[in-house]
Amino acid sequence: MEIAAEIRENLGEEWIPNIYQNKVRTQRTRAHRLEITERENRVIIQHTLLGVELKVGNNRFSCPDLSTARYLQIFARLGCSNVAVPYDITKISTLADELESSWHRTLLFFDKMIEEKTSSVRGRMRSSLIREIRQEIDKIGAGSLMPEFKQSTKQRTT
């Protein structure tokens, strides 16, 4: 059985693409683009005098708050350049928590499965796993640049 399929089966609804599809894309979102390479990236959240920044390699991206930076950190680590960000900022922190715990559980399952492999095989398998997750997220898509707003309003008649 392929390693990504086995981890997907073990995690079920806690698989990162499932969280993205079922909990992020079902609500009103806006598309966010990160100019990053499509591979596993080293990502750091930095607190500067100008606010919170997400550092991916040599690039820095300004974030409005820490929860958005934590949310985007997961996708930047996976190499996803286009993602949907919830428009309701009160939901971002909870989703960031879920995505981070899913990422760590994915790595725990992965480490358990590759204990007896050589380091070069481990690297190829990890790249394959991350590529699979990234492709599933890309397939789901980032949605529109701006969320839709309903123009109609209800007037009460008395």
Residue pair 27/86 in contact by the 8 Å Cβ criterion: yes
What are the residue ranges of helices labelled H in 29-91? Answer: 66-78
Tell me whether residue 120 is exposed, middle or buried, using C-beta atoms within 10 angstroms of its C-beta: 0 to 12, 13 to 18, 19 or more: exposed
pLDDT tens readout for residues 76-135? 999 999 999 999 999 999 999 999 999 999 999 999 998 888 889 999 999 999 999 999
Instruction: Say what the pTM is.
Output: 0.87
Domain ranges in the chain are 3-140
